[in-house]
């Protein structure tokens, strides 16, 4: 369970959440716009914000600083205008899934309890998907109906660095073949089957590797958020099962490739002056570079590794999302695309 904030408390009743969510639906219907043949309803930021009733900022400044990734521009306005309506919408989806489970259970005559609602969050390196995941975890855990929210990054399911070195594929870390896909699928399948607790490997960005002997335990969660570059990927073959097949809702954090390239470069420079300076860092060798050299290296890594992965593997999964958060050059979400039901 995530800590309570100082501005808004968990004392908000379940009835208030339900009323807020109902208000969102009622307000949303007239805003859909004309049918342009797209499978998505498109909202600009102002229209999306108007779908939810006004409420106090649910996160404190300390909360915002804690969930904001390096280089991201998350602020209170974005939480209120984008993430608060999204959290209310997700509350509706969770309630709907639970009701369907109840009806199915009644029909089948069994007494199996409901399983966690699983949300997948995908997008490029440096686009802000980790911030999105953390903000949603904070907001959803404040709903009295879903107080237990687990956030699991798929980084822990990357193959160990020694194995990637053995295969000669360290430079393809983050590409589909660099993951232990079977272990990830087994993990999510167990969650969706009601197994509890379930353990996931823990990853260290400082060490650029799994942490030996450390695991993250998921037990009794109402919602599980699975965050990773390519979690919305389809099955490898027509007869296979993909992790995304087990999601109840998929979110893709989107932006122009040229903008993400700039954000990646600026993040690299920020890390070079910060985390890379730690002698334990896998990237400590970059700490002594001058800024010109560091920027050249960031552009090389982007051009040779991250951009090809984005173009060939990550972007093709965008149409599979239930909702797309689209950012502009200022790193702020300006459009929301919601798949038509």
Q: Over the Cα atoms of the chain, what is R_g?
A: 20
Read off the pLDDT of residues 130-149 as tens digits, 9 standing for 90 and up.
Answer: 999 999 999 999 999 999 99
Judge whether 2 lies within some domain.
Answer: no
Q: What is the CATH number of the domain that holds 36?
A: 3.40.50.300
Name the band, by pLDDT with cuts 50, 70 and 90, for residue 225.
very high
Tokens describing residue 180: 């232990």
Domain that holds residue 262: 14-339
Closest to 188 measured CA to CA, from 226, 220, 155: 226
Closest to 223 measured CA to CA, from 139, 109, 298: 139
d(CA 4, CA 59): 9
Q: Give yes or no for residue 34 having a pLDDT over 60.
A: no
d(CA 160, CA 173): 10
Judge whether 8 lies within some domain.
Answer: no
- Quote the pLDDT of residue 105: 87
Domain count of the chain? 1
- Quote the pLDDT of residue 238: 82
- Quote the pLDDT of residue 24: 53
Judge whether 5 lies within some domain.
Answer: no
∠ CA(131), CA(136), CA(140), 5° rounding? 160
Judge whether 207 lies within some domain.
Answer: yes
Name the band, by pLDDT with cuts 50, 70 and 90, for residue 17.
low
Judge whether 40 lies within some domain.
Answer: yes
Q: Note if the pTM is more than 0.85.
A: yes
The residue written with tokens 């099962």 in the block is 241
Q: Give yes or no for residue 33 having a pLDDT over 70.
A: no
- Quote the pLDDT of residue 19: 43
Angle of the 129-140 helix axis to the 84-108 helix axis, nearest 10: 60
Judge whether 146 lies within some domain.
Answer: yes
Q: Give yes or no for residue 2 having a pLDDT over 60.
A: no
Name the band, by pLDDT with cuts 50, 70 and 90, for residue 35.
low
């Amino acid at each position: 369970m995530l800590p309570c904030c100082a501005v808004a408390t968990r004392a908000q009743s379940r009835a208030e959440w339900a009323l807020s969510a109902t208000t969102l639906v009622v307000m949303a219907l007239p805003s859909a716009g004309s049918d342009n043949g797209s499978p998505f309803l498109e909202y600009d930021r102002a229209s999306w914000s108007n779908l939810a009733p006004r409420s106090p900022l649910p996160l404190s400044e300390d909360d915002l600083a804690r969930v904001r990734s390096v280089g991201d521009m998350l602020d209170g306005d974005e939480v209120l205008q984008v993430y608060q309506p999204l959290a209310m919408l997700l509350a509706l989806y969770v309630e709907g899934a639970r009701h369907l489970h109840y009806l199915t259970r009644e029909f089948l005559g069994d007494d199996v309890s409901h399983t966690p609602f699983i949300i997948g969050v995908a997008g490029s390196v440096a686009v802000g998907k980790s911030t999105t995941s953390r903000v949603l975890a904070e907001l959803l855990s404040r709903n009295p109906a879903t107080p237990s929210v687990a956030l699991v990054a798929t980084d822990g399911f990357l193959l160990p660095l020694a194995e990637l070195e053995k295969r000669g594929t360290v430079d393809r870390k983050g590409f589909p073949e660099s993951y232990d896909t079977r272990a990830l699928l087994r993990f999510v399948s167990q969650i969706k089957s009601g197994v509890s607790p379930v353990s996931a490997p823990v990853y260290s960005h400082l060490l650029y590797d799994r942490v030996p002997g450390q695991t993250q335990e998921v037990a009794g969660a109402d919602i599980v958020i699975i965050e990773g570059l390519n979690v919305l990927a389809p099955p490898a073959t027509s007869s296979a099962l993909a992790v995304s097949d087990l999601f109840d809702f998929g979110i893709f954090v989107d932006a122009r490739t040229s903008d993400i390239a700039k954000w990646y470069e600026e993040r690299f420079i920020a890390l070079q002056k910060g985390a890379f300076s730690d002698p334990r860092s896998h990237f400590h060798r970059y700490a002594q570079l001058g800024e010109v050299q560091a920027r050249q290296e960031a552009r090389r890594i982007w051009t040779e590794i991250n951009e090809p992965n984005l173009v060939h593997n990550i972007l093709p999964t965008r149409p599979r999302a239930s909702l797309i958060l689209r950012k502009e050059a200022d790193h702020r979400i300006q459009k929301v695309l919601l798949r038509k039901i």
